[in-house]
Amino acid sequence: MLKVIDNFLSEEICNKIIKDNLSNFKPIPELPHVRRCTSKFIEAPKIREELIFIVNEIRKDLTVDSTFEFIQYSKDDHFEWHNDVRLNNPKTETISAIILLNNNFKGGDLLYRENLKITKSNINVGSLIIFPSKLQHKVNKITEGFRYSLCCWFYKDNTKFKSII
């Protein structure tokens, strides 16, 4: 299940998010051959509430963090094939959500891989993509400009279930 909602955010709101958050990025502490970009976590309560409403139509028993990861990809930045499920974490990611904030860059395609079939997402500024966290996906290398996105993850919090043994 891959759900795309065009115009989830207006271009004006996307531009404001970018403008208001262009400082204090931190490099991602992963290996640069796997993921190379900078990010920071920001609050966006109105967007979060709208997103919760949409995801609740799909599944109601999930929690979402209070912040979004605001990601900046610049020239040569990328994220190789991965999924968003983290092993040995009490927060088991179930649904991933990405909002594309701009389109004035080259490269940076968001691709999905399922059963050896690769699909390119054709999304526009303000588009929201919701998909299962176990779905393999990647961001191709940026060749020109900057690519900005907001990401968040809906999860089942397994810390509530403690072992009785």
**CA distance linking residue 49 with residue 151, whole number of Å:** 14
User: Could you tell me if 111 and 119 are in contact, meaning their C-beta atoms sit under 8 angstroms apart?
Assistant: yes
Least confident interval from 27-36, 42-51, 91-100, 102-111: 27-36
Q: Which CATH class is domain 3-160?
A: mainly beta
Give strand pairing partners of 95.
Answer: 132, 154
Proportion of the chain above pLDDT 70, given as a percent: 92
pLDDT score of 61: 86
H-type helices in 62-165, by residue range?
none
List, for residues 115-132, the tens digit of each pLDDT value: 889 999 889 999 999 999
**Average pLDDT of the chain?**
90
Based on C-alpha coordinates, what's the Rg of the chain?
16
Report the distance separating Cα 75 and Cα 146, nearest Å. Answer: 7
The answer, as to whether pTM is greater than 0.95, is no
Domain definitions of the chain by residue range: 3-160
> What confidence score (pLDDT) does residue 60 get?
87
The pLDDT-based confidence of 47 (bands split at 50, 70, 90) is very high
pLDDT of residue 164: 47
Residues 15-27 have pLDDT tens digits of 999 999 999 998 8
Distances (CA, A) of 132 to 11, 28, 59, 86, 115: 26, 23, 11, 13, 14
Q: Give me the percent of the chain exceeding a pLDDT of 90.
A: 71
Torsional sign, CA 12, 44, 7, 18: positive
